[in-house]
Chains A and B, each alone.
Chain A
């Protein structure tokens, strides 16, 4: 899978992200996913004669926030432009986008490259546009059906420089982008629902060369896993062509996830000249400096900053902080657990293991309230329940709810700290295993753990392990 070391891969990514609005970019129709075909449409998004677009302010606000989250310069004046091409799912015969004067330029995004450590890619531009409808080629035999529910849904297109150096890096960039945009609250970034789509430009060259090789554009990549796959396939194809003495043809390639192959898009599917010009139906988009400042000041702390803060504030490792800050909801939850009194390190362990495992099985829901988890952690620390018992309590809290203490009592998991009771269990265990006692006394010290396990078993997990160990040691050395 690794590229031949004699070639360097150069990748630039164009990502379309659906903005999380209730209504479409230029009309009031709903953007909800999954409605029956052509039920969320009106004269504007159907492109009926005489209908006119009016920009959705909520979409503009989210686009500005996305731009700020990516460190872009947001332009006070940008211009909507028409991208003209014919396609049955494009009802007006043009898409309203931005061209010469985009909303934002000159941003950057840093992410952890598996190959190169922390890498910063430039965000060349971020612009606002509307989505097209959807052509369904397999719905009716010998006919194409068109669903215009998606027509006019607000998008931002985010274009990187040619700064990405490998398919695996492309994936890492996208995951980070998704993280940042989710944090900023601008998009769900759900590739399955089409709310994040990516096209990639790829070329290869000899290391040390400064000129770019001939590039191809790879389209139809519709999951994070496929990003790496599709680009690896295309990179290998470029290298094979060049090493075979051929030349790469600049063209658009479509990725087929079923066969893991790419094929050139048919010439007919390609538009050569979009004839962009400023949309005369829409005045320039003006965002005032105060508005930009307000959006900047209300942006939440972004993942990178939060990660660094967690390391400093809670004495966590970079790795743990990265896991905890991967999703904003989880990071906020972790901090709530800490604010409710749990020790940061213990809280981190709980969240990274029990909480995330439970969330994974339950649609990312964080089912145990942060305060409850903090109580449970305190109970462990105070010796009221042991770790094993606490995990059982957690499962119960997640599935049925309740107070940790009540649940632990109901399950009979409150730790026994009575040395008399523990002494009894210890006595029973030693009596039942005379051979092991002899071996221990002959120097097999590691058998202590065996005895401890037997004591825990005899107590059905309730014995305080520390007290049990001490009692065992006392009896065995007596």
Chain B
């Protein structure tokens, strides 16, 4: 059998597995179109790449030549990008197959994948619950075993939070590690493409492929692709900080137990564990909800119905065209954030909100530097305050929804690499633990994750 027929067979098998997960509403690409494309891609894919024949699902806010790129929004319904995102181009060059576009909160704004114009994605094992978000479709597909890996994107935890809810591995690299070219912008200073895998290794090898310099993104560092570490015997010499602010009194007791068990495992592996303080943590969510909407209000200005995407017509003049297109094309959560963002950038409010938020952001980043400067290699925390919540539970209360990202948005604000990996179950629901590492030291973070992954009873009740 030739390599190509191997790839075609595995592409067909992947299409079958993805079709079986249909009830999750994790994929936006019609299955027929997906199957046809996967076979075509398998026939032409370059053999010998490190990801040869590997199907990788792509979040719908990452541009691909294959399939539509709608960002989970009505305003980009039917939109086809004329180019591949750099990360997608790198995946293809490594032999991977683009395995469809996954559902997400509209323009990546949300924490539950309920804010998609194309319906909510279900939690892979508990259909009444959410898979997390905004990259919930990618997380659910990987968790369901439909694809070995998927790309998501993070602005404030949108890979790690759903990875935690779905019981898989999710990595957000250092800001500037992966090109943002072709990632539809939400909060440009926070956005990074991240990866999901069922294991640390699956996620890490996809990350390694998509990382590295890109002349098309001025914020992408001119560094070589990430080199994967080997799996360590133990964690001798590692100093792991436990920030007390990430273990508040109202932390879910199950989550607390799972984290404490993981910390014991880290110690058993030889790591030195120290309590540390990141004192500005309480300001992270408010800071995030000024900076991200501010940038979003500007980034989403281009969706005006003039050049592409549906135009909601009947408008008497240009202003009316904008109102009807943007009023009907965007969902409520996106409109809310555009309004907040427009407000905080307005003259007279800029200093009080946007400029102040940038100052606090600098303090948050300094918190981490202070800890790392004192010899701490990595920080370990719960990824989320609770396991996956019920669908609809937080829809009426945006602030409650925002607070589900309380432990994850700090890494985006500080630009640091972070990841979530399964560390146990609470009442049958997965719980994730989070590592936050030093800028561009993903390899150290991955070493610790390899070790913890092997030693922690990830599917046992904590």
Contact = CB atoms under 8 A, between A and B. Distances in A.
Contacts of B339: none
B298 A86 contact: no
B375 to A, nearest CB: 30
Given A48-B308, A49-B79, A54-B215, A84 B301 contact: yes
Contacts of B180: 52
Contact of B298 (A48, A50, A54, A277): A277
A43 interface: yes
Q: Which 9 A-B pairs have the closest CB atoms?
A: A93-B301, A280-B189, A280-B188, A275-B345, A50-B182, A50-B63, A49-B184, A47-B302, A88-B306
Interface in A234-284: 268, 273, 275-277, 280-283
Contacts of A49: 63, 69, 71, 76, 79, 81, 184-185, 302
Contact of A146 (B69, B184, B306): B306
A282 B301 CA distance: 18
A46 B307 CA distance: 9
A88 B345 CA distance: 22
A55 interface: yes
Interface string B47-90: 00000000000000011000001010000100101110100000
B400 interface: no
B185 A54 contact: no
Contact of A94 (B85, B216, B298, B308): B298
Contact of A283 (B71, B85, B215, B218): B218
Q: How large is the interface on A (under 10, 10 to 19, 20 to 34, 35 or more residues)?
A: 20 to 34
Interface in A258-317: 268, 273, 275-277, 280-283
Given A49-B71, A50-B185, A54-B215, A275 B83 contact: no
B217 interface: yes
A275 B216 contact: no
Contacts of A283: 218-219
B294 interface: yes
Nearest to B217: A52
A335 B347 CA distance: 54
Contacts of A48: 81-83, 308
Indicate the member of A47, A84, A93 with the most B CB atoms within 10 Å: A93
B67 to A, nearest CB: 14
A88 B318 contact: yes
A168 B361 CA distance: 51
25 contacts: A43-B82, A49-B63, A49-B76, A50-B85, A51-B182, A52-B216, A52-B217, A54-B218, A82-B298, A84-B298, A86-B318, A88-B304, A92-B301, A92-B302, A93-B298, A93-B300, A144-B318, A146-B306, A273-B346, A275-B297, A275-B298, A276-B345, A277-B345, A281-B185, A281-B219
A53 interface: yes
A91 B307 contact: yes
Interface of A: 43, 46-55, 82, 84, 86-88, 91-94, 144, 146, 268, 273, 275-277, 280-283
B413 interface: no
Contacts of A268: 317, 319
Interface of B: 62-63, 69, 71, 76, 79, 81-83, 85, 180-185, 187-189, 215-219, 294-295, 297-298, 300-302, 304, 306-308, 317-319, 322, 342, 345-347, 350, 354
A318 to B, nearest CB: 48
A283 B176 CA distance: 11
A281 B187 CA distance: 10
A277 B301 contact: no
B301 A43 contact: no
A456 to B, nearest CB: 72
A91 B302 contact: yes
B231 to A, nearest CB: 35
A92 B185 CA distance: 11
B104 to A, nearest CB: 14
B374 to A, nearest CB: 29
Contacts of B318: 86-88, 144
A273 B347 contact: yes
A49 B107 CA distance: 11
Given A49-B302, A277-B295, A277-B345, 20 more contacts: A43-B83, A47-B302, A49-B71, A49-B185, A50-B63, A52-B181, A52-B216, A82-B298, A86-B319, A88-B318, A92-B301, A93-B298, A93-B301, A273-B347, A275-B342, A275-B346, A280-B188, A280-B295, A281-B185, A281-B188
Contacts of B304: 86, 88, 93
A53 B345 CA distance: 22
Given A88-B318, A92-B302, A275-B347, A50 B81 contact: yes
Nearest to A268: B319
Contacts of A273: 346-347
A49 B322 CA distance: 17
A180 B172 CA distance: 51
Contacts of A282: 218-219
A93 B325 CA distance: 14
A112 B84 CA distance: 56
Nearest to A83: B298
Contacts of A87: 318
Contacts of B83: 43, 48, 50-51
Contacts of B294: 277
Contacts of A50: 62-63, 69, 81, 83, 85, 181-185
Contacts of B215: 54
Nearest to A92: B302
B218 A281 contact: yes
Nearest to A89: B306
A103 to B, nearest CB: 16
B301 A54 contact: no
Indicate the member of B71, B218, B297, B322 with the most A CB atoms within 10 Å: B218
Contacts of A47: 302, 307
A289 to B, nearest CB: 22
Contacts of B322: 86
Given A49-B71, A50-B185, A94 B301 contact: yes
A91 B306 CA distance: 9
A48 B83 CA distance: 10
A93 B319 CA distance: 13
A84 B338 CA distance: 13
Contacts of B188: 280-281
A8 B274 CA distance: 73
Given A49-B71, A283-B218, A277 B354 contact: yes
Contacts of B346: 273, 275
B308 A86 contact: no
Contacts of B187: 280
Contacts of B69: 49-50
A194 to B, nearest CB: 22
